[in-house]
Structure 1
Amino acid sequence: MNSADRLAWILLLPLGAFVLAFFLLPLVRVVAVAGEGPNGMAEYLVILTNPRHVATLLATLTLSAGVTLATLAIGVVVALFLARNRFPGRALLVSMLTLPLAFPGVVVGFMIILLAGRQGLIGGITQSLGLGKLVFAYSMAGLFAGYVYFSLPRVLVTLMAAVEKLDPALSEAARSLGAGRFAVLRDVILPGLAPALTATGAIAFATAMGAFGTAFTLATRIDVLAMTIYTEFTLAANFSTACALSLALGLITWGVLAATRNFAGSGVAAAG
């Protein structure tokens, strides 16, 4: 081993120590604690047969998928508009749209309460119109709105960069051949944005799966996996179940990220 290789290994030692201390050891400990409960390692099977845990998992997956689809749909429209139009105040608008990046989940939840809570703006407007007070902040609808608001800036920044890299000549060629706006979007723009959509969709999905602050703020009638894990180890002191649910959440999210990463990579290769 020459001096350059020895230096490389020496420089890698801090990285290895960091990974060991802050990733591998905590993960091993979580796996061990999950197997220390009364059911032993069968705790992983128990959480899959517990009706409440299964319902919570399905609700979390449904919510995360819905947030991802809504975020991507809004993000594509806004990114196409902002990337292809220059107008006074555009920079201010972009900065306002990316402002939620600076907000923690608790602040987002508080904003949803101010908007759609019992004393919220929407409820006041609907009541003044004689439609009754509309309150949805403390339900899945409120959590959905909060997650979309929280995820949209992360998707928008990436999609704007991807739109700017698209060759406008392809869209012009499609229009010259008689394609309408929808056909151009379906056959030219969306395939060109597929890698970016896949990557940002995975980020939005993972964020919604594991987000806790917003759910904690709005948790009156909300039962998602992050809140279930929290109540298991704080209120019930059921550490084995909490660890098993944490690993299930992590594995599902990791699987989605790995699958989309492979898909995005093959899409980029094909596009190249």
Structure 2
Amino acid sequence: MSAALLSLPASRWRRPLPGFGISLGLGLAWLSVIVLLPLAALAIRAAGLGVDGWLRAIQDPRVMASLKLSFSAALIAALLASAAGALVAWVVVRYRFPGRRLLDALVDLPFALPTAVAGIALTAIYSANGWMGRWLEPAGFKIAYAPTGIVIALVFIGLPFAVRTVQPVLEALGREQEEAAASLGASRFTTLRRVILPELLPALLTGFSLAFARGLGEYGSVIFIAGNLPYKTEIAPLLITIRLEEYDYNGAIAIAALLLAASFLCLLAINAIPSLFAHERRGRRRE
């Protein structure tokens, strides 16, 4: 049956969707309505502020403090999520143990769990009266209503990105290269550094970029555990909401445009990473 279908001219193939032009038009229409139009409206409003108006809104001390906190917490959380995600992916792919499928399913829990529920749960755990907070705070480790709690919340929502980007690469990598390196006398550290990490690096960078971009705009899981103290634990997405409630639309647009530009740069980096590493590998093969 498949041979008969392949022998038919391309014009006689029956595709489940209509022709390329109609499919492309419908896809772009939906994409424009849902994604492109709101982003274009934000970009146009931000451009209307002018450079002076945009800088005036961004250089406010409260805005600068919230942006510094959001970017630094997202960066630290993305680094931690990338490291932890690589370890979790390694365990899930390379080992067989009871509960492995449950662990693999739990990785996606932050995707399914409402972010507000995650924030409330983390606050209940790490607050002064929480399960762990009642022991940590007397020892000098304040997590809830502090930047540390923000980082933990961002690691929670960023971990699935790190695991799911590394996991398929590990599954495709197999163990042949590791066994070959071991047969040549390479130590475990040398095998990790020279064989495994070069293959995982594009996936690690992609997971890091996704976790960082998600952390910049995260709202629900952070506001409960952050405490939202101006100049201390107030994140940029929350300040956007506050500016809108104060009818300071220009200030909200300026902050939102900056976060949008940062997230867009992360997406560009994600798309550029595979091509850069592919070009480098081709260059090595030619040498």
The normalised TM-score by structure 2 is 0.81
Structure 1 residue 207 and structure 2 residue 214: aligned? yes
**Which residue identity is paired with 2:210?**
I
- The answer as to 2:140 corresponding to 1:152 is no
Map of 2:69 onto structure 1: 59
Q: Distance in 1 between matches of 2:225 and 2:134?
A: 19
1:78-107: CA deviation from partner (whole Å, max 9, x where unpaired): 211221111222112222333222112111
Instruction: For 2:159 and 2:84, locate their aligned partners in 1 and report how far apart those are by CA, in whole Å.
Output: 8
CA apart distance, 1:119? 1.7
Deviating above 6 A after TM superposition, structure 1's stretches of 4 or more consecutive aligned residues are none
Relative to structure 1, the CA distance from residue 122 to residue 238 in structure 2 (aligned partners, 3 Å threshold; closer, same or farther) is: same
Would you say 1:94 and 2:101 are equivalent positions? no
Does structure 1 residue 229 correspond to structure 2 residue 240?
yes
Q: Is 1:81 paired with 2:91?
A: yes
The one-letter code sitting in structure 2 at the alignment partner of 1:13 is G
Corresponding residue number in structure 1 for 2:224: 217
> Deviations 1:193-236 (Å, cap 9, x if unpaired)?
112112211111111011111122234132221112111112x2
Report the count of equivalent residues. Answer: 263
Q: Which ranges in structure 1 are unaligned for 5 or more consecutive residues? A: none
Flag the 1:22–1:94 CA change in 2: closer, same or farther, 3 A.
closer
Unmatched segments (≥5 aa) in structure 2:
1-10, 13-17, 283-287
Aligned equivalents of 1:35, 1:251: Cα separation in 2: 12
Sort the Cα spacing of 1:239 and 1:48 in 2 relative to 1 into closer, same or farther, 3 A: closer
Deviations 1:159-200 (A, max 9, x none): 222111114122122223332222221221111111211221
1:125-166, Cα deviation, whole Å (9 max, x unpaired):
457xxx458542221111111111122123212322211111
In structure 2, distance between residues paired with 1:60 and 1:151:
14
CA contact (8 A) 1:215 1:227 kept: no
Identity of aligned residues (%): 29
For the aligned residue pairs, the C-alpha RMSD in angstroms reads: 2.6
The one-letter code matched in structure 2 to 1:226 is P
Q: 1: CA distance between counterparts of 2:148 and 2:264?
A: 26
Q: What does 1:9-88 align with in structure 2 at a 5 Å threshold?
A: 9-34=21-46, 42-88=52-98
